[in-house]
């Protein structure tokens, strides 16, 4: 009931898997000043960790984002056609030659890929030596275990032994706990399956700001001018409760 009360009027009742819904989210991100500042911060994290030297940079699941406004050389992509995209393809079968990219970046994408093993194999094949994958993904903490099941529409299953899930629509299929499962709970399994991918870091953070921004599905709770204030509040909160979070910055490097 709380989620229904907070639903954004532009996306209420719409099909999550419709390209038209994603087009509306382009407008939502631009109009919601607090949320747009979150995306700017996320993009800064992604861009700061791109290796030096020549090579292509690919963003997966660009959706309603605007990373090309900060770095026009980035190749944007999604699983269906949206305004401003460079390419349309499935991350489980990427249409690139070997060694095509020096970096792959993504925001809230990994937990939507039905078979992540296929994706990591494809990413390895199409990346150069010392290439990176940097992502912002949902993360599991005591706090997020309450937030995601109660205020978010996606599945949040921390107990499943599986990394994959059944094919549904491109956005309705998901397990928001999947990044934590792969890189925390089952980290040794990942390292065994993919010895060429080194997990350089997993940094959990942002316990409040995305929630009070309303994201792309809920109404804003705070105005854009309060963004810096809430960033300070989060830093203080993390000092007291280091594990509290809703997201993580995850970076892999090809050995």
pTM for this model (two decimals): 0.93
pLDDT at 7 over 80: no
What is the Cα–Cα distance from 128 to 101, expressed in whole angstroms?
A: 6
Task: Specify the CATH number for 2-254; select among 3.40.50.1370, 3.40.50.150, 3.90.79.10, 3.40.50.300.
Answer: 3.40.50.150
Say yes or no to pLDDT of 15 above 80: no
Phi–psi pair at 210, nearest 5 degrees = -65, -40
Per-residue pLDDT averaged across 36-48, rounded?
97
Question: Where is average pLDDT lowest: 51-60, 85-94, 149-158?
Answer: 149-158
CB 209 within 8 A of CB 230: yes
Rg of the chain on CA atoms, in Å: 17
Q: What is the pLDDT of residue 77?
A: 97
- pLDDT value, residue 3: 62
Residue-range domain boundaries for the chain = 2-254
Q: State residue 24's pLDDT score.
A: 86
User: pLDDT (tens digit, 9 = 90+) per residue, 193-221?
Assistant: 999 999 999 999 999 999 999 988 878 88
Q: Are strands 87-88 and 75-78 parallel, antiparallel or unpaired?
A: parallel
What confidence category does residue 2 fall into, taking pLDDT thresholds of 50, 70 and 90?
Answer: low
Query: Which range among 49-63, 74-88, 208-222 shows the weakest confidence by mean pLDDT?
Result: 208-222
Encode pLDDT of 98-126 as tens digits. 999 999 999 999 999 999 999 999 999 99
pLDDT at 12: 67
């Amino acid at each position: 009931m709380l989620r229904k009360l907070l639903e954004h009027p532009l996306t209420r009742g719409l099909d999550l898997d419709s390209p038209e819904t994603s087009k509306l989210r382009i407008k939502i991100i631009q109009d919601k000043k607090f949320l747009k500042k979150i995306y700017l911060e996320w993009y800064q994290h992604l861009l700061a960790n791109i290796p030096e030297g020549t090579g292509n940079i690919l963003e997966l699941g660009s959706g309603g984002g605007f990373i090309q406004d900060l770095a026009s050389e980035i190749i944007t992509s999604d699983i269906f056609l949206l305004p401003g995209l460079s390419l349309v393809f499935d991350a489980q079968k990427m249409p690139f030659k070997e060694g095509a990219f020096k970096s792959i970046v993504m925001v809230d994408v990994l937990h939507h890929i039905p078979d992540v093993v296929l994706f990591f194999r494809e990413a390895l094949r199409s990346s150069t030596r010392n290439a990176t994958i940097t992502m912002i993904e949902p993360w599991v903490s005591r706090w997020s275990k309450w937030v995601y099941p109660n205020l978010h529409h996606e599945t949040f299953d921390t107990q499943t032994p599986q990394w994959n899930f059944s094919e549904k629509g491109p956005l309705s299929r998901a397990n928001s706990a999947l990044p934590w499962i792969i890189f925390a709970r089952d980290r040794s399994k990942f390292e065994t399956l993919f010895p060429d991918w080194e997990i350089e870091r997993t940094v959990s953070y942002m316990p409040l700001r995305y929630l009070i921004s309303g994201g792309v599905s809920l109404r804003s709770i705070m105005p854009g001018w309060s963004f810096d204030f809430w960033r300070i509040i989060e830093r203080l909160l993390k000092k007291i409760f280091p594990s509290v979070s809703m997201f993580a910055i995850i970076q892999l490097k090809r050995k």
